[in-house]
Amino acid sequence: MKVLVTGGAGYIGSHAVLRLHEDGHDVVVLDNLFRGHREALDAIDPAIPLVQCDLGDTDTIAAALKEHGVEAVMNFAALAYVGESVEQPLIYYRNNTAGVISLLEAMRNAGVRKLVHSSTCATYGEPATMPITEDTPQAPINPYGASKLFVERVFADEAAADKDFAYAALRYFNVAGSDPQGRIGEDHEPETHLIPVLLNTALGKRDSATIFGTDYDTPDGTCVRDYIHVCDLIDAHVTVMNALDPRKPDRKEMIFNLGTGHGFSVKQIIDAVKKVTGVDFTVKTGDRRPGDPPSLYADPRKIKDALGWEASVKDPETMAQHAWAWFQKHPDGYGG
């Protein structure tokens, strides 16, 4: 299949490019390289076509879809920092909401009617009960979550208006790990994800790591989150892409949570990273961050029941080990 991967030079998107390329698909990447890395694509195959533009450039996207004969789109092109979304909401709505509408317009113009979209558990906000199912009320508490929720409604309306349009919205929990062979990895600036922060601390790039809140109503007082290996995440995308079929009611609109169904606390993740790295780095405690729920973890049964998919990696040590291997080779990220 010929697949356009938007945001394909980013952390998750590049892992999608790698998997699709290895599976024999013809891959085209669209990325503005604002936070993506051309080096990630070069590590996979320098010959992979890159269209460098924003999601809002409808005409350029439509032309690329036609030129390369694209049959399906995987969309990972998103801004994804919660704090930044609170400080600069307009850029989140411009990219994550208006940009996706532009992508849909380009797809319609080019006759491409299959879309697998990167959504988020942030659309659920602070659920009252765990685990989170796809029927849990969506009540985002920040512009990032809201920007993602809005386009889910747009997808539903587009699917109702066009019998040939099929889409999937995949609501991620915490993504971790990297390619087990160490070809590509995670390189954000700034870095806010827990495991990379801890690995950078183990490398000596940070003096210490901080636990934000130790008095939550959880087994050890720290926040509990569901972590999914990035390669499992992409495996789910490929499974869903292959299943999309506008002629079948249960395959025309698919919404799934992607997680393991099990939560790990911040302290458990710290212990796992210390074990993997062999470094007893300094960990400090700080105040709670506003809007941090005590626990967030998925009920992933819907995708298993529908498509037979479930995560293969369910322990944080394996996720940390795969990420650590890449971090050791690239202590300064793709630029090092």
Strand 26-30's sheet: what is its strand order? 50-51, 26-30, 2-6, 72-75, 114-120, 166-172, 253-258
Active-site choice (92, 144, 172, 227): 144
Is-catalytic flag, 93?
no
Choose among 64, 73, 77, 85: nearest CA to 35.
Answer: 77
Residue 121 DSSP symbol: G
Would you say 119 and 171 are in contact if contact means Cβ atoms under 8 Å apart? yes
- Segments in the chain forming alpha helices (H): 11-22, 38-44, 58-67, 82-87, 89-92, 99-110, 143-161, 194-202, 230-243, 249-252, 266-277, 301-307, 316-329
How many angstroms separate the Cα of 231 from the Cα of each of 87, 100, 104, 277?
A: 31, 24, 26, 21
Cα 113 vs. chain centroid, distance in angstroms? 22
DSSP secondary structure letter of residue 132 = B
Q: Look up residue 138 and give its amino acid.
A: Q
Bridge partner residues of 123 (DSSP)? none
By annotation, the residues acting in catalysis are 144
